[in-house]
Chains A and B, each alone.
Chain A
Amino acid sequence: MEVRLENLAFAYGDVPVFEHVDLTIDKPELICILGPNGAGKSTLMHCMNKLKNPTEGDIFIDGKNLKEYTLKDLAKIVSFVPHTEDTTFSMSVLDTVLMGRIPHSGTVLSPRDVEIAIENIKLLGMEDFALHGFDELSAGQHQKIMIARSLTQEPKLMLLDEPTANLDVKYQMLVMRLLRDVAKLKNITVITICHDLNVTAKYADRVVMLYDHHIYSDGTPEQVLTRENIILLYGIDCQVMELQGRPLIALLDGDELDSHIADNLSAAAASDQ
């Protein structure tokens, strides 16, 4: 599976979100897209699965221009895990996961379809919940089920929009580790948007950093997650150390973080005297 972005640009009217984005991804590994809020991470991802159309440039998946894919053809090789699951009327966990078979199956599901769904539920350790209602699960369990559903689509490229948002520390690590392992085990290219620097540093095979409307840095966590880059991106000073062979980023409190409350505090203190 090869994904190639060529001179990609997206703009809302005259306001550019990103421009001149060139990126080639050709290995089944875990790729994290990192960047401050509003840097265009989600938009970039939505361009890769036709949820949005880029204003300029092309995307090639396995050499074929994305514009030539129908939604159905694309769904057979690219799956997507949205930010949060937004069901109104929920079904059982297994029926939810079985939706991943829609691009492949006909009107009638085959026993094989059901097996694939169950195998993926088992892979994520959720077999005890297979026939529970989806709405009975916690946020972390939802995320696992959505990943299982995405795997049931048997994609070559899996896109995830902030899968670790709303999760506690353990689940954040679990989900990222799982994505890294799934990429290897199933030979899938996994691209995920991530906000947590340390979780990214620990599990990503490759980090793509979006800043100032373009890809500012691209490489291994060691190459991308440097003090200079983090100061530039977030305006926060930090110390980058090493732990378990991966960068560990300790953020430092400082005057860059202006809450505007400190002024009031000192003003209040002054008026008291």
Chain B
Amino acid sequence: MGLRKSKATTSNDAVVQDIYGQYSVFRFKKILILAALIVVLIVASFYGLTVGSYELSFTEVYQIVIDHLLNLGETLTTVDQRVVWLQRMPRLMTAIVAGAGLAVAGSAMQSMMKNPLADPYTTGISSGASFGAVVAITLGLAVGSTQNATVIFAFFFSLIPAGVIILLSTFKRATSAMMILAGISVMYIFNALTQYLMLVADNETMAAAYEWTIGTLSKSSWDSLPIMAAVVIVGGFTLLYLSRFLNAMNSGDNYAKTVGIDVEKMRIFILILISIISASIVSFTGIIGFVGLVGPHITRMLLGSDNRYLILGSALMGASVMVVCDIISKLFTVTALPIGIITALIGGPVFLFLIIRQKKEVW
């Protein structure tokens, strides 16, 4: 990510040495901020596990966690154990993975598009996913407890916008404006199709379809987690590896090319990464807004816009925001409102406040 720590400068020049030292401190501060974000995430997660509609004390919860970790093979017998291991734990893990993935995808999308308004859904991923889910639900494929068809349809259709952009890029240069406009066109097409399906659907299907579009963590299970986690981890680290190229692309396509980056190919590759990360989350949780837009921006305020730190910082920030929003949802609302509503409802005012407080121009 940054420099190798052990080696210092070998320069004899006092000015160079001085700035080198200042730069080490500058970088160390960023690492401290990252460490602080890790602590926040851990504390929030530990607390989050103890919150829920089913009454369990802090000690009871961690008694169960420790017992089960020591005897992993044993079946979960009591209701208490099942609540902690089969509901709260996967829900917490899903919140962490989804928040991290969406925020990483958002920060990469913003840097790649050179646009502070960009988020993981900018190229139409969410509208594709909604359409896919609605198709599966109206076709009656999502029967009973198995939501597999819905997930598969949502995943597949959410990748279509990226596919369209890749196809277009063979005719036209893949600039950020082209990508955003193509994404918006595809989004309108999908929205229109979704609206048509909703119009002809019966009430029950319509309710189910509508409910799907609102992002929620309540469907979390151990089954859905591995795929999502694997995609987010591999995708996230690949984006981290590409962070210096994202930095150069932020200085303009021409400049990026003259430091040796094949900008159009790189942009398509990053788009594919972002799309797969977002699709793997959205298809399981539905559309969780705001984390992917605001998570990266709050991180930019803390860490600056160097993608070498921003990508990792956004992951931690996004995960923390999701865990905290889930806690709030469980603590303060009777029916535990879906996370998609909470992130926007709380995130919006908080972000407005931060914009006003922000002295330095980040954007």
Which residues of A approach B to under 8 Å, CB–CB?
Answer: 46, 49-51, 70-76, 78-80, 82, 85-92, 94-96, 99-100, 102-103, 107-112, 114-115, 118-119, 121-122, 127, 130-131, 133, 135, 153
Q: Which residues of B contact A130 (CB under 8 A)?
A: 19, 22-23
Further contacts, 5 of them, CB under 8 A, given A86-B252, A91-B304? A82-B254, A92-B304, A114-B23, A119-B11, A127-B15
Q: Chain B: which residue is nearest A99 at the CB level?
A: B248
Contact A94–B19 (Cβ < 8 Å): yes
Q: Would you mind naming 21 contact pairs between A and B with Cβ atoms under 8 Å apart?
A: A74-B260, A75-B259, A80-B258, A85-B251, A87-B250, A87-B251, A92-B26, A94-B19, A96-B251, A107-B244, A108-B1, A111-B4, A111-B10, A115-B11, A118-B11, A118-B16, A119-B11, A119-B13, A122-B16, A127-B19, A135-B361
- A256 nearest CB across to chain B (Å): 35
- B340 nearest CB across to chain A (Å): 27
- B173 nearest CB across to chain A (Å): 12
Interface residues of B in 211-254 (CB under 8 A from A): 241, 244-245, 247-248, 250-252, 254
Contact A91–B244 (Cβ < 8 Å): no
Q: What are the 9 closest A-B residue pairs judged by CB atoms, nearest first?
A: A75-B260, A89-B305, A72-B260, A80-B258, A88-B114, A86-B252, A102-B259, A103-B260, A91-B306
Contact A91–B16 (Cβ < 8 Å): no
**Bound complex: CA of A4 vs CA of B221, how far in Å?**
65
Contact B22–A89 (Cβ < 8 Å): no
Q: A102-B248, A107-B241, A109-B3 are in contact. Are A51 and B254 (CB under 8 A)?
A: yes
Q: Chain A: which residue is nearest B300 at the CB level?
A: A89
Contact B362–A89 (Cβ < 8 Å): yes
Q: Which residues of A contact B258 (CB under 8 A)?
A: 49, 51, 74-75, 78-80
**Bound complex: CA of A87 vs CA of B252, how far in Å?**
7
Contact A103–B259 (Cβ < 8 Å): yes
Using a Cβ cutoff of 8 Å, how many contacts connect chains A and B?
133
**Bound complex: CA of A111 vs CA of B21, how far in Å?**
11
Interface residues of B in 252-277 (CB under 8 A from A): 252, 254-255, 257-262
Which residues of B approach A to under 8 Å, CB–CB?
Answer: 1-4, 7-11, 13, 15-16, 19-20, 22-23, 26, 110-111, 114-116, 241, 244-245, 247-248, 250-252, 254-255, 257-262, 300, 304-306, 360-363
Q: Which residues of B contact A92 (CB under 8 A)?
A: 26, 304, 306
Contact A82–B22 (Cβ < 8 Å): no
**Bound complex: CA of A90 vs CA of B361, how far in Å?**
10
Q: Which residues of B contact A110 (CB under 8 A)?
A: 3-4, 7
Q: Chain A: which residue is nearest B111 at the CB level?
A: A89
Contact A82–B252 (Cβ < 8 Å): yes
Q: Which residues of A contact B257 (CB under 8 A)?
A: 49-51, 71
Contact A102–B244 (Cβ < 8 Å): yes
Q: A118-B19, A130-B22 are in contact. Are A111 and B259 (CB under 8 A)?
A: no
Contact A114–B254 (Cβ < 8 Å): no
- A2 nearest CB across to chain B (Å): 20
- B261 nearest CB across to chain A (Å): 7
**Bound complex: CA of A49 vs CA of B304, how far in Å?**
31
Q: Which of B3, B13, B260, B360 contacts A114 (CB 8 A)?
A: B3
Q: Which of A79, A90, A111 contacts B7 (CB 8 A)?
A: A111
Q: Which residues of A contact B13 (CB under 8 A)?
A: 119, 122
**Bound complex: CA of A150 vs CA of B319, how far in Å?**
38
Q: A78-B258, A118-B19, A119-B16 are in contact. Are A86 and B363 (CB under 8 A)?
A: no
Q: Which residues of B contact A70 (CB under 8 A)?
A: 260
Q: Which residues of A contact B16 (CB under 8 A)?
A: 115, 118-119, 122
